[in-house]
């Protein structure tokens, strides 16, 4: 039994900002390697318009390939109702709906106001109940926005309250530009957990300023049990100037296991997946442990 759940987002968030389209076959191989390392939940793709994010042009093909992996939960990000309809056709078991804590980022990211976005979210929650589909409500730029600066925690709490009332199955708090400090993370998430009550809370951390692991520890201390990370720390948001990659899955697993926090992930196989993920990116991967740790070791 694991103490935490790790959702690897490298096939989606890790690759979405790559300038050269990664083949469906390579995306499948990355997913397969994550599955072999015993990652049980993977955000595999995004049903977004290919003009906005060309890397996700093969979303349907990726999800078709994922059907051969039994016992794995696959998540797909959706930005609007059109994306939701595509996800239905692909028989996705969980969708990740994204809003933002600031109006400017919401317009840059999905071309809607926060209220317009939320009205669509309520519609998909109602439809998802009929389809037996889970819906995650993720809040981008929860700590800081590249356009509006520091984010008032009250804005995040308000969105959490609305998401709980609407019936979200999970709520994600994202540090999209990697600006948060451990003190901010612990303080905000303690309040989020209180407001969310029984609704599971996930933290999505970017490691832009090297604070990812410290912020993950702060989230754990606050009571968060779900962490979204990316193999080798690859990634970045096309709508967040200056944002670097995600917190590396292998770095978080290393820290947790050394602390006695069980993840049930095969560390050696995860390092192999991280090596492959690093080969798919044109940027310098942010993951650290992969580059220094002896294989098969958690020393």
Residue spans of the domains in the chain: they are 5-290
Average of pLDDT values for 71-93?
A: 96
Tell me how far apart the alpha carbons of residues 137 and 222 are, in angstroms, rounded to a whole number.
Answer: 20
Average of pLDDT values for 194-202?
A: 97
pLDDT, tens digit (0-9, with 9 covering 90-100), for 104-139: 999 999 999 999 999 999 999 999 999 999 999 999
In this structure, are strands 73-78 and 149-150 parallel, antiparallel, or unpaired?
Answer: unpaired
What is residue 61's predicted lDDT score, i.e. its pLDDT? 98
Structure tokens at 167: 């019936």
CB 176 within 8 A of CB 141: yes
Structure tokens at 52: 């906005």
pLDDT, tens digit (0-9, with 9 covering 90-100), for 215-227: 999 999 999 999 9
Burial environment of residue 158 by CB neighbours within 10 A (0 to 12, 13 to 18, 19 or more): middle
pTM: 0.96
SS3 assignment for 54-85: HHHCCHHHHHHHHCCCCCCEEEEEECCHHHHH
Calculate the CA dihedral of residues 266, 267, 271, 273 and round it to 10 degrees. Answer: 20
Residue reference for tokens 């993951």? 287
* Mean pLDDT for all residues in the chain: 95
Structure tokens at 70: 């039994």
CATH class as words, domain 5-290: alpha beta
Average of pLDDT values for 172-182?
A: 97
Q: Residue 136 catalytic?
A: no
Tell me how far apart the alpha carbons of residues 276 and 72 are, in angstroms, rounded to a whole number.
Answer: 20
What is residue 239's predicted lDDT score, i.e. its pLDDT? 67
Task: Tell whether the model's pLDDT for residue 16 goes beyond 80.
Answer: yes
Calculate Rg over the CA atoms of the chain.
17
Residue reference for tokens 């059109």? 82
Give one DSSP letter per residue of 7-34, joined into a string. EE-IIIIITTT-SSPPPHHHHHHHHHHH
Q: Please report, for residues 37, 133, 167, 273, the alpha-carbon distance to residue 31 in angstroms, rounded to integers and kept in the order given.
A: 10, 21, 29, 9
What is residue 241's predicted lDDT score, i.e. its pLDDT? 67
Q: Please report, for residues 14, 49, 152, 231, 245, the alpha-carbon distance to residue 18 in angstroms, rounded to integers and kept in the order given.
A: 8, 16, 31, 15, 11
Portion of the chain with pLDDT greater than 70, in percent: 96
What is residue 297's predicted lDDT score, i.e. its pLDDT? 57
CB 185 within 8 A of CB 151: no
pLDDT, tens digit (0-9, with 9 covering 90-100), for 228-273: 999 999 997 776 766 678 999 999 999 999 999 999 999 999 999 9
- Identify the H or E element spanning 195: helix 182-196
Q: Which of 66, 136, 145, 237 is catalytic?
A: 237
């Amino acid at each position: 039994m694991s103490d935490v759940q790790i959702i690897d987002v490298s096939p989606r968030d890790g690759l979405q900002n790559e300038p050269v389209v990664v083949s469906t076959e390579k995306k499948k191989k990355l997913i397969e390697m994550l599955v072999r390392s015993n990652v049980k939940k993977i955000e595999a793709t995004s049903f977004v318009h290919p003009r906005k994010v060309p890397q996700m042009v093969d979303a349907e093909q990726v999800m078709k390939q994922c059907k051969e992996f039994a016992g794995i939960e696959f998540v797909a990000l959706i930005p609007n109702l059109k994306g939701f309809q595509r996800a239905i056709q692909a028989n996705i078991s969980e969708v990740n709906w994204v809003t933002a804590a600031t109006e400017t980022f919401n317009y840059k990211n999905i071309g809607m106001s926060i209220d317009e976005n939320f009205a669509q979210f309520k519609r998909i929650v109602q439809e998802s109940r009929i389809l037996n589909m889970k819906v995650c409500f993720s809040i981008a730029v929860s700590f800081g926005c590249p356009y509006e600066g520091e984010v008032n925690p009250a804005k995040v709490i308000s969105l959490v309250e609305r998401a709980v009332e609407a019936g979200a199955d999970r709520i994600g708090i994202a540090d999209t530009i990697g600006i948060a400090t451990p003190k901010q993370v612990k303080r905000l998430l303690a309040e989020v957990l209180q407001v969310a009550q029984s609704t599971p809370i996930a933290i999505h951390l970017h490691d832009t300023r090297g604070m990812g692991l410290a912020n993950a520890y702060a989230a754990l201390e606050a009571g968060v049990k779900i962490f979204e990370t990316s193999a080798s720390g690859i990634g970045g948001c096309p709508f967040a100037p200056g944002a670097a990659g995600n917190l590396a899955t292998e770095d978080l697993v290393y820290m947790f296991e050394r602390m006695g926090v069980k993840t049930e992930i095969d560390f050696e196989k995860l390092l192999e997946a991280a090596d492959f993920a690093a080969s798919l990116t044109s940027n310098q991967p942010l993951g650290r442990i992969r580059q220094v740790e002896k294989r098969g070791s958690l020393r």
